[in-house]
Amino acid sequence: MQLSDFNFELPDHLIARYPLQSRSSSRLLHLHADGKYQDHCFTDILELFNPGDLMILNDTKVMKARLKGKRATGGAVEVLVERMQDQFIAHCHIKASNSPKAGAELFIGADEVKVTVQGRHENLFVVEFSQPILTVLDRYGQLPIPPYFNREAEAIDTERYQTVFHDPNKLASVAAPTASLHFDQQLLAELEQKGIQKSFVTLHVGAGTFLPVRTDNIENHIMHSEWCDVPQHTVDLIRETQARGNKVIAVGTTATRALESAAQAHGGKIGAWTGDTQIFIYPGYEFCVVDRLITNFHLPESTLLMLVSALSNQENILNAYRHAVKQQYRFFSYGDAMLIDRA
C-alpha cells in the first residue's frame, strides 16, 4: 500500500490546540463494522458498551521530558529525554543548530546542569547527566506537548495532558495516551456501576509516535521501539471476557499495540508479556485481541491512521474522517474521539 492512500484534507482550524473545559464533553463518532457511522457525545459510551465488556487502558505517566539549555559556545539546544537507562544515563533527541559530537557538553536550565553526549544509539543520543535525571526533569523539564500545538506547554497541560488514572510510578512517556484523556473520574465510576470492567497495560509512549512515515511503500516503514507490559491479571480478565462473549475494548492505539504485541509473542493468543515492541499494524493485519477501539482522530499519512484502517478498513475510515471534517470535529491529541468496531 502507498503512503498517499492514507492522505486526507484537514483544515488547520480543526486541530485542537487546547483541551475542552471538561474531559468527557468531547464528541464521539461511532464507526460500525459495516462502515455506517453515527454522531454521539463521548459519554454515550455508557449506552454503547455492554455490562461484562472490558476496557483496557494504558496507565503510563508523561514525563516533563523537554529540557532547554545551551552549548559551551552559548548556542541554544533542546534535549528530549526518550528513555532512561539508569539514574544518570538516557537516550535522548537533541535539537541544535548542528549535531553534537561525542564528548560535547551541554548545560541545562538556570543552574547550568552539565550533561555530556557520550555517543549515539540508533537515531538517539546517549547522554550522561551530572545530576539524577528525574531531579533535573522535575526542576527544569516541560511537558513535551505535540509539535502541532504550535505553542509552549502551559499550566493547563500539567493536568490535562495526563490521564486521571496514570500510575505515578510509571513516569516514562513523552506523549500522553490521548484516547484516555476523555475519561474523568465520574465517567469511570458510572461505567463501573454499569458492570463495564477495566484493566491496565503499560506502554511508555516514545517521541517516534510523531515521526512521519518517510517511505512511499508503507511496508518498508520501520517502527520505533517502545517498552510495554501486559500483566497476568489483565490477561486473565481478557480470557474471561472472551469466554463469555463480551467485547475487549482497547482505549487508544498504545493499549492496542501492547495487547497485540503480547498476543504475537504467544502465537496469536493473549498471554502475559513484557518487552520492547516495534509492532506496525496496517491493513491486512489480523487482530488477535481487540474487538473495539476508542481513539482520537489522527494525522494524515500517520502509522496511527494505518492502525485504525486495519481494524475497520481504509475506505470506512476515510469516509468517516471526511464526515468528521464536514461536521467540524476537533482533531488530534486534545480533539474528539471515535469508537471503531472491528470490521
Residue 206 pLDDT exceeds 80: yes
Domain-located, residue 74: yes
Domain-located, residue 238: yes
Q: Based on the domain organization, do 180 and 247 belong to the same domain?
A: yes
Q: What is the pLDDT of residue 209?
A: 76
pLDDT grade for 207, boundaries at 50, 70 and 90: confident
pLDDT (tens digit per residue) in 265-324: 999 999 999 999 999 999 999 999 999 999 999 999 999 999 999 999 999 999 999 999
Cα 248 from Cα 334, distance rounded (Å): 24
| Contact call for residues 258 and 228 (beta carbons, < 8 A) | yes
Share of the chain above pLDDT 70, in %: 100
Residue 82 pLDDT exceeds 80: yes
Q: What is the pLDDT of residue 325?
A: 98
Domain-located, residue 113: yes
Domain-located, residue 149: no
pLDDT (tens digit per residue) in 2-51: 999 999 999 999 999 999 999 999 999 999 999 999 999 999 999 999 99
Q: Based on the domain organization, do 240 and 118 belong to the same domain?
A: no
Q: Based on the domain organization, do 241 and 280 belong to the same domain?
A: yes
Q: What is the mean pLDDT of residues 183-187?
A: 98
Q: Based on the domain organization, do 222 and 255 belong to the same domain?
A: yes
| Contact call for residues 255 and 201 (beta carbons, < 8 A) | yes
Q: Based on the domain organization, do 175 and 55 belong to the same domain?
A: yes
Query: What's the CATH code of the domain at 270?
Result: 3.40.1780.10
| Contact call for residues 58 and 201 (beta carbons, < 8 A) | yes
Residue 210 pLDDT exceeds 80: no
Residue 77 pLDDT exceeds 90: yes
* Coil/strand/helix, residue 146: coil
pLDDT (tens digit per residue) in 104-151: 999 999 999 999 999 999 889 999 999 999 999 999 999 999 999 999
Mean pLDDT of the chain: 97
Q: How many structural domains comprise the chain?
A: 2
Cα 243 from Cα 223, distance rounded (Å): 33
What are the DSSP E strand ranges found in the chain? 27-31, 37-41, 54-58, 61-62, 66-71, 76-84, 89-95, 105-108, 113-121, 124-129, 171-173, 197-203, 226-230, 248-251, 273-277, 292-296, 337-341
Domain-located, residue 315: yes
| Contact call for residues 174 and 62 (beta carbons, < 8 A) | yes
Q: Based on the domain organization, do 218 and 76 belong to the same domain?
A: no
Query: What's the CATH code of the domain at 107?
Result: 2.40.10.240
Q: Based on the domain organization, do 171 and 297 belong to the same domain?
A: yes
Q: Based on the domain organization, do 323 and 219 belong to the same domain?
A: yes
Cα 204 from Cα 83, distance rounded (Å): 9
Cα 256 from Cα 15, distance rounded (Å): 24
Q: What does each C-alpha distance from 331 to 13, 69, 248, 296, 300 come to in angstroms?
A: 9, 32, 25, 7, 11
Q: Based on the domain organization, do 113 and 190 belong to the same domain?
A: no
Q: Based on the domain organization, do 18 and 133 belong to the same domain?
A: no
Q: What is the pLDDT of residue 208?
A: 79
pLDDT grade for 61, boundaries at 50, 70 and 90: very high
| Contact call for residues 218 and 62 (beta carbons, < 8 A) | no
Per the structure, the complete domain to which residue 332 belongs is given by 3-62+158-341
Domain-located, residue 92: yes
Q: Nearest Cα to 22, choosing from 192, 191, 183, 190?
A: 183
pLDDT (tens digit per residue) in 157-181: 999 999 999 999 999 999 999 999 9
Q: Based on the domain organization, do 283 and 318 belong to the same domain?
A: yes
